[in-house]
Amino acid sequence: MMTTCALYIGCGTDFDPVADLQTDVSSFIYVDSQPLTRYGDLYQTFMPHEKMETYNKTYMRDFGIAAECAGFKKISLDGVYPHVYKNSATDQIVYHYFSLCFPIQSFKQNPAANQKELTRLVFLLNHVTHLVVRKYVPNYNLLRYFLRPLVFVGYDDTIYVEDSCKLLPYERNKITSRLQNGEYQDRFSKYIYVKTENNQQIQTFTYSEFVLNLN
């Protein structure tokens, strides 16, 4: 059986996708710019004094509590990056890359990880099978890391269709904006729309069909 791996950028402390994809996905790459900043890739445009004001002091504690509530226990040693959590009941693993902004601007001068750790992350991204897009929507440049078409996983609490005329320049480079314009359709093999109220999952094979399910 092929190993499946889901990427979730802007994960915060959200462990819902781990449960929702329990039968399909065995490992998860969780990426968040916190505790370094709450502003994701926009952090890289901030002035030094602005960056000092964006640190989230409670994020790591909150993530650990959420992991424990979801049945996960930290199995990596302190000081090792990323942190690794495992659920012994489901055998699922979560790799938590914190304080990491995407797209990665520098492998040599990164505030979160060294070059070896980031190179390892890129290797893991090459084997991703699912992309969770919830609340935060990553830049389309992320697609260059994937070697195969992905399963797109979306939720009913996230906006996937927007008026392109009202978007800021950087917002037009979001994956959903590009998909809405008919681009990069070949990079996804299937779309899953999760309704949080009853955990219903609707599967489609095109982005146009996917957005028809939006509330």
Q: pLDDT for 158-188, tens place per residue?
A: 999 988 888 888 889 999 999 999 999 999 9
In the three-class reduction of DSSP (H, G, I as helix; E, B as strand; rest coil), residue 37 is classed as coil
Query: Model confidence at 43, in pLDDT bands (50, 70, 90)?
Result: very low
Q: Where in the chain are the domains? A: 5-211
Coil, helix or strand at residue 204: strand
Residue with tokens 């392109």: 164
* pLDDT on residue 187: 97
> Would you say residue 15 has pLDDT above 80?
yes
Percent of the chain with pLDDT over 70: 87
- Residue 39: the pLDDT is 60
Where residue 199 falls (left for φ over 0; alpha for ψ -120 to 50; beta otherwise) is left
Rounded to whole angstroms, the Cα distance separating 165 from 144 reads 26
- Non-local (6+) Cβ contacts of 179 within 8 A are 185, 188, 207
